[in-house]
Amino acid sequence: MRQYAPSAPPDSADEQAILSFIDVSLGYGRDAKISRDPNQFILKSLNFQIAAGSFHFLTGPSGAGKTSLLKMIYLAQNPSAGQILLMGEKINPDDRDQRTRLRRRLGVVFQEFRLLDHLNVFDNAALPLVVTGTKPREYSGDVTELLTWVGLKNHLHLMPPVLSGGEKQRLAIARAVVHRPTLILADEPTGNIDYAMGLRIMRLLIELNRLGATVIFATHDESLIQASGMPVLELRHGNIHKRDLSRDLSARLQPGHTPEHGA
């Protein structure tokens, strides 16, 4: 999988923040924006940094704001207050060129897949390379290898409407990483696939992370979190917390604790 290394790895991967949230709040609707009342915000004055080259899970109860947080990171949602810095740039919500430029360095696995129904599996996966003007002869080997990795080798010419939910999800994952993004954002990428394929996808993301990509992986799947031991950011009541996995581990070792599936 060496060829999937990110195209623009940071100079000092461990030191630099690829993403900073400075007092970022988000509320939906006119009232939240006008009043600036923290009680109206879904996400409240978030302050955190993500180091370039790191891997983080993002978790929290349903409705906690995981998708909303990811939307702000991929610049599809402006914060109601505060400043986001992405890949060394202060985000200006009015700067469309900045948004287009930075998005090309992102790989996003959307919860609802967002596949193009009129393109076959191969062409959907190749799309991020096509839009940057890459020639088919330069990408066809990589695209086929990646689709083989996610188990879609025999489906290259099928159209998305005939794929199962899990197959669509695997295609969405392939499309998100095919252009070697600097930052991968995955919203419940293992939600529709079985546990074994979930672990395989997890291994792919860990491998891409090992090659330099920063990964933020939103999930409810505690067994996957526990099995990987990667750091966890948890959204609760509009705030973000770093979860201490060593404390989780000692809790799991307490008498009477029932292990979760796969943990």
Task: Catalog residues that contact ligand ATP under the rule CB under 6 A.
Answer: 28, 42, 60, 62-68
> Using CA atoms in the order 102, 24, 248, 188, what is the torsion angle rounded to 10 degrees?
-50
Cα–Cα distance, 103 to 52 (Å, whole number): 16
129/215 with CB nearer ligand ATP: 215
Name the residue among 165, 167, 104, 98 with its Cα closest to residue 134.
104
CA distances from residue 228 to 57, 112, 121, 225 in whole angstroms, order as listed: 10, 25, 30, 5
29/161 with CB nearer ligand ATP: 29
Least spacing, CB of residue 34 vs ligand ATP, in Å: 15
Least spacing, CB of residue 88 vs ligand ATP, in Å: 26
48/105 with CB nearer ligand ATP: 48
Least spacing, CB of residue 94 vs ligand ATP, in Å: 20
Least spacing, CB of residue 54 vs ligand ATP, in Å: 21
- 3-state SS, residue 235: strand
Under 8 Å between Cβ of 109 and 187: yes
81/211 with CB nearer ligand ATP: 81
